Structure 1
């Protein structure tokens, strides 16, 4: 069996090999806990006779009994998820209103102790289900959402509030069911601390693209005079606005634009009424730094031209391959000052990276 350190060393060597033709500094490595690091977990609910249990399927296999893996416990998941798993199964198993045609379940937990459970069904959720689910919610001290085709039944709330500590300060984040959040909270704290360290002394204003729910925005705002962050998802924007207010940040504004749309606005190719409605004037900012945390596809060609126009670039990536492609362009005008590996997903091939670039000359 591969040890945690062996799999981490493999990732380190992979990054070194991938970026060997670029002038990179020593890679800072941020480890994960070996167990109980995932704050999210999803399972099928398998029915065999009168018994139900959690299940996953072998990677690359079809969802059939032949590839089924029973999961009474899941050591990658947060301890609170593991503690809840048998209690939830036992409670549901004794109530046909909850058990019948229960198909899948999703857990979302937090370091601060809240738990949201989404129960997914192949049936219409009626008043009897709601009554039983409310009783279950109260009994287990959790928040429950019911889902079936065309239905979302929220019994109390569809979010949890996470608390992450960065540099000795707590930041509260509303994490909405179905929205993107970093699954490894402890490594997320390390990512945020690294980004803040990279931003030390840069000053001025910061532009952020792909801000999500403001995960990086909130702690980074301490390092700059003003921050303008962009995000296209309405759900994420609403969560970010709540997070900004809850944490008392007064120097952040959110523009509901995609990275491509913001590039058009910034280069004056197109005017957006949304910016006017949100009271955002681009002329009010003196940007020294851009922060990007793009999807797996990386930064598109036109947006990359925008990124290259900034003196300082902090780039967090979930895909080393597209990061390499983007850095091949950016390294023509910028030098790589710092590079980090964050083991957000232990024992998988996934790698999160961080890079600080500064303009040459």
Structure 2
């Protein structure tokens, strides 16, 4: 078996998925007696984004990754089988252009790819030098020839040629949704599994009595918008300016009229909810909402103590986790007030130990 990153082993996939499901089941055995619902990934070309170091050896340049155990030795990446077909197509064409054009190659350090299921693509080239109009003059025709958005970055510089985003179309909950994904904002890496995750969350929400939804960590609205069809009103919070800008665009293009985005962190919202103070939280008519459910998709650290106390006040907690260990800790902290009623595994990263999970907690009594 090759040690090169990004390889696929379809014949091993089902055994790996079964092991991940069993691990999740065992972790939550104190709170859950069933088998997790399992959502598999495609076995190849499932990652919509990737980043590579650009390595120069004499007159030759190649894309590289590194083994954490040997971080000084580049591993050449002639292709990236876990990456989308569009990423693999662009890798070859971009290297051809870099070799042919010294202005593109000179002190090029890194290349980042963001693609969609429909083949839309954004490439960011990162340099250890200042970029100018001469770089634009050779990069702009390249972008047109490859049909991509292209961005050049260097220290304190960001040169956007035509656009800084891709538009993804996902089929979720029986409808197609359009999501603008802006460079350097968080996006789900595995689009097909993302469709499963959001559809699963919507299916759980459809089982709840209709009310209002509070969402923390809403990002660009990938969960927010489809979930909004199952609630009267939605208040969603997000700290990133770029993600809030994308979310507002996505609300408009998808014709959603019952979602308000609040730019604040989950921690600030939790503190404001508890104290009734804070300029940002006073901008929203919290007493006017009739919250029945809270939806959270936190970072790997899970919910902090204040946010755990906040979500405890809701009838239902709908939780997507990129780290089942912190999800388990949060579930344990909520056990005195909430019961775990649903558990799901989402395999965003095949051929790795990484697991993502979904959970529903219902207030006891």
Q: Normalising TM by the smaller chain, what interval? A: over 0.9
Alignment of 1:94-105 (within 5 A): 94-105=100-111
Q: Distance in 1 between matches of 2:142 and 2:354?
A: 36
Match of 1:209 among 216, 220, 224: 216
* TM-aligned CA deviation for residue 24 of structure 1: 4.1
CA deviation digits over 1:306-352, x for unaligned, max 9? 11111111011011111111000222212211100000011111110
Q: C-alpha displacement at 1:26, in angstroms?
A: 2.1
CA–CA distance in structure 2, aligned partners of residues 40 and 8 of structure 1? 22
d(CA) in 1 for partners of 2:47 and 2:115?
Answer: 9
- State the secondary structure of the residue aligned to 1:322: helix
Report the Cα distance in structure 2 between the residues aligned to 1:331 and 1:140, rounded to whole angstroms.
53
Task: Work out whether residues 109 and 126 of structure 2, in 8 Å CA contact, stay in contact via their aligned partners in 1.
Answer: yes
Answer yes or no: is the 8 Å Cα contact 1:122–1:149 preserved in 2.
yes
Secondary structure of 2:213 counterpart: strand
RMSD: 1.3
Query: Do the aligned partners of 1:25 and 1:337 also contact (CA within 8 Å) in 2?
Result: no
2-structure distance, mates of 1:255, 1:126 = 37
SS in 2 for 1:235: helix
2:57 to 34, 48, 51: 48
- 1:199 lines up with 2:199 in the alignment: no
Q: Which runs of 5+ in 2 are unaligned?
A: 2-8
- Output the CA distance in 2 between the equivalents of 1:23 and 1:349: 22
Shift of 1:263: 1.5
Match of residue 331, structure 1, among 331, 335, 342:
335
Residues in 1 aligned to 2:268 and 2:80: alpha-carbon distance in whole angstroms: 41
What is the rounded CA distance, in whole Å, between the counterparts of 2:154 and 2:213 in structure 1?
42
Aligned partner of residue 21 in structure 1, secondary structure:
coil
**1:117-132 aligned within 5 A:** 117-132=123-138
Cα 1:272–1:24, aligned 2, differ >3 Å: closer, same or farther? farther
Q: Tell me the equivalent position of 1:297.
A: 301
C-alpha deviation, 1:270, in angstroms: 4.0
Which residue pairs with 2:161 in the alignment?
A: 155
Tell me what 1:33 maps to. Answer: 42
Which residue pairs with 1:223 in the alignment? 230
Name the CA distance, whole Å, in 2 between partners of 1:284 and 1:265. 16
Alpha-carbon contact 1:24-1:338 (below 8 Å) kept: no
Matched residues in 1 for 2:229 and 2:241: separation? 25
Q: Could you tell me how far apart the structure 1 residues matched to 2:103 and 2:33 are?
A: 58
TM-score when scaled to structure 2?
A: 0.94
- Equivalent residue in structure 2 for 1:85, among 79, 83, 91: 91
TM-score between the two structures when normalised by the length of structure 1: 0.96
The answer on 1:181 being equivalent to 2:190 is no
